[in-house]
A = this chain, B = another copy of it.
């Protein structure tokens, strides 16, 4: 079968031939429909993130997948079921985190990530997976099923944010999303029905397709070149919730300065080391006197995938049509890695239902 892989020593993906995987006991065979591409995939190709499976000379990429069960192989699935695989796998059989259904809180060494680190991904015509790592989705969602994994990332971060405020009456009325990439935009869309006032911070000029989406959602665009994060409360309003999806190093600490009393910032970006001056006393005082919180969030578990299916089915068609700017066959995979301002979210199409 064909697969898209990064080979050791190379900095670009290549379509390779490899044997169709044989299922182990308790594993279903899944025919891949689509695989989403995100910033992590770009980082893997650039050699900034990820790692090859032990003993292999290549890594099949792709961790945002949707497929059709081809061979249920004794699992609870039936051939034809549309499924989305989770990403983390136990390196050696199992461990306590996987047994509790919480691989997303496993520490380094206690997991591989398919398509990212230590295990092959889903950008192949077929993949196999233990039953417990597959989440069934409605067949009608199949074309967009590759969005379940990224949406599950937002679900987990929002869950952590809410749980951190669960000891008192709290419902966010003002929400600031830092970042107008696909993660930021999907989060805005997920919150549009329940939040009064949405804001999205970016640094683009109009006309821009992401800002068109911000407008259509009804969110207020905040240009970070005009209004740095700490000035947002004065210029706009203090935020009950900040959702950081930029990976810009200053935004971790600065997000506390955008928060309203009792507010929480969910941090999702992964910046590089960057040293700068901060008023750490003011940061600390704001955190304490305002009962403010910062919660970091990485990965997601099955519960978040299941919630993401519901969220995905609630998103309006205009939104997903605007968000997904391209779906490409393996023969034109390079286009899925385009990085220009007209590209928001792309996917590879491995097969059709």
> A residues touching B (Cβ–Cβ < 8 Å)?
100, 102, 104-105, 107-108, 159-160, 163-169, 247, 249-253, 261-262, 267-298
Contact = CB atoms under 8 A, between A and B. Distances in A.
A256 to B, nearest CB: 8
* Most interface-central of A107, A249, A286, A287 (chain B CB within 10 A): A287
A167 to B, nearest CB: 5
Contacts of A253: 253, 278, 280, 283-284
Contacts of A100: 168-169
Contacts of A252: 280-281, 283-284, 287
Contacts of A267: 284, 287-288
Contacts of A251: 284
A249 B291 contact: no
B294 A293 contact: yes
The count of identical subunits is 2
Given A107-B261, A160-B293, A293-B160, A281 B287 contact: no
Given A105-B291, A293-B296, A280 B282 contact: no
A252 B298 CA distance: 22
6 contacts: A159-B167, A163-B166, A249-B284, A276-B277, A286-B296, A291-B295
A287 B280 contact: no
A104 B275 contact: no
Nearest to A164: B164
Given A164-B164, A276-B278, A284 B271 contact: yes
Nearest to A246: B284
Contacts of A102: 168-169
A308 to B, nearest CB: 15
B270 A274 contact: no
Nearest to A279: B275
Nearest to A268: B288
Contacts of A247: 284
A104 B293 CA distance: 15
Nearest to A162: B167
A275 B274 contact: no
